[in-house]
Chains A and B, each alone.
Chain A
Amino acid sequence: MKVLDQATVTFWSRSANESFARMAAACFAARLDPTLDELNDIKTAVSEAVTNAIVHAYPDALGKVIMRLRLLEGDVVEVLVRDTGVGIADVEKARTPMFTTGNEERSGMGFTIMESFMDSVRVRSAPGKGTAVTMRRRVSSRRDRRR
């Protein structure tokens, strides 16, 4: 799919940046005039992907999290969340509902929510190198909604 526009933000793996990342993604997607539900779905999925990077990628240190936002042809928003942290040894297992290596504060539902709220979720990871999560969501255009 043709890339129409792109914006990238890089931030440290501090939990306060979870809301920053959600807002940045929502602002970027807003030009497509999404419904409130669509915007909330994107914000929720971004929150999960970014929280995963913040909680799991850099367990004992601060690291960089990169979020690349793209507008693709056909009213599709693509969000890539990438880190250069510890990586995931078994991606399939990590995507299983209720599975978590986190403490009691985590529910293990992050990937399930990303998959439910976005049209597609692709995860690439290599132990010691990092993880990249790419999610896409088509937004109903204003024209479609008027019909």
Chain B
Amino acid sequence: MPVKTECRERAMRAYLSGEVDHHGAREIMGVLDREIGQALPGSLELDLSGVSFMDSSGIAVVIRAWRRMGELGGTMRLRSVPHQARRVLETAGIHKLMPLE
């Protein structure tokens, strides 16, 4: 499973793993949509430590989750971002939208 989530007192943490490309993005988005929709969290922390590769499909995944959290009036942050994924996300200016650790 490329996404695992846990939620405690409306703080959700989601762990992505493997290669986040166009081939895998749809499933990741589906799981995140469903989990956010069920838990309605006040904050989302997306942990990317297990991501071995990311391309612009990952940007779409992150922006979609960020929009969803915005609709809920919540916050979002990215943590444990590997170097390659960081280069991709920073090229898109994601670090201007949310904290990227």
Question: Chain A residues in contact with chain B, CB under 8 A?
Answer: 15-16, 18-19, 22, 37, 40-41, 43-44, 47-48, 51, 54-55, 104-110, 112-113, 116-117
Question: Chain B residues in contact with chain A, CB under 8 A?
Answer: 19, 21-23, 25-26, 29, 53, 55-57, 59-60, 63-64, 83-84, 87-88, 91-92
- Give complex CA distance A108, B84 in Å: 19
Chain B residues with CB under 8 Å of A41's CB are 87
- Give complex CA distance A42, B9 in Å: 42
12 A/B residue pairs, CB under 8 Å, sorted by A: A15-B23, A19-B19, A19-B21, A19-B23, A44-B55, A105-B25, A105-B26, A106-B60, A107-B63, A112-B92, A113-B88, A116-B91
Is A48 a contact partner of B23 (Cβ separation < 8 A)? Answer: no
Say which residue of A16, A37, A51, A116 sits within 8 Å of B57 (CB atoms). Answer: A51
Mostly, the B contact residues are helix
- Give complex CA distance A113, B94 in Å: 13
- Give complex CA distance A19, B24 in Å: 10
Is A109 a contact partner of B22 (Cβ separation < 8 A)? Answer: no
Is A109 a contact partner of B23 (Cβ separation < 8 A)? Answer: no
Say which residue of B21, B83, B87 sits within 8 Å of A47 (CB atoms). Answer: B21
- B64 vs chain A, min Cβ distance (A): 6
Is A104 a contact partner of B64 (Cβ separation < 8 A)? Answer: yes
- A100 vs chain B, min Cβ distance (A): 9
Chain B residues with CB under 8 Å of A55's CB are 22
Chain B residues with CB under 8 Å of A107's CB are 56-57, 59-60, 63, 92
- B69 vs chain A, min Cβ distance (A): 16
Is B22 a contact partner of A112 (Cβ separation < 8 A)? Answer: no
Chain A residues with CB under 8 Å of B57's CB are 51, 105-107
Chain B residues with CB under 8 Å of A116's CB are 91
- Give complex CA distance A104, B62 in Å: 12
Chain B residues with CB under 8 Å of A117's CB are 87, 91
- Give complex CA distance A104, B21 in Å: 14
- Give complex CA distance A12, B63 in Å: 29
Is B56 a contact partner of A109 (Cβ separation < 8 A)? Answer: yes
Is B26 a contact partner of A47 (Cβ separation < 8 A)? Answer: no
Given contacts A22-B53, A112-B91, A112-B92, contact A51 B60 (CB under 8 A): no
- B31 vs chain A, min Cβ distance (A): 14
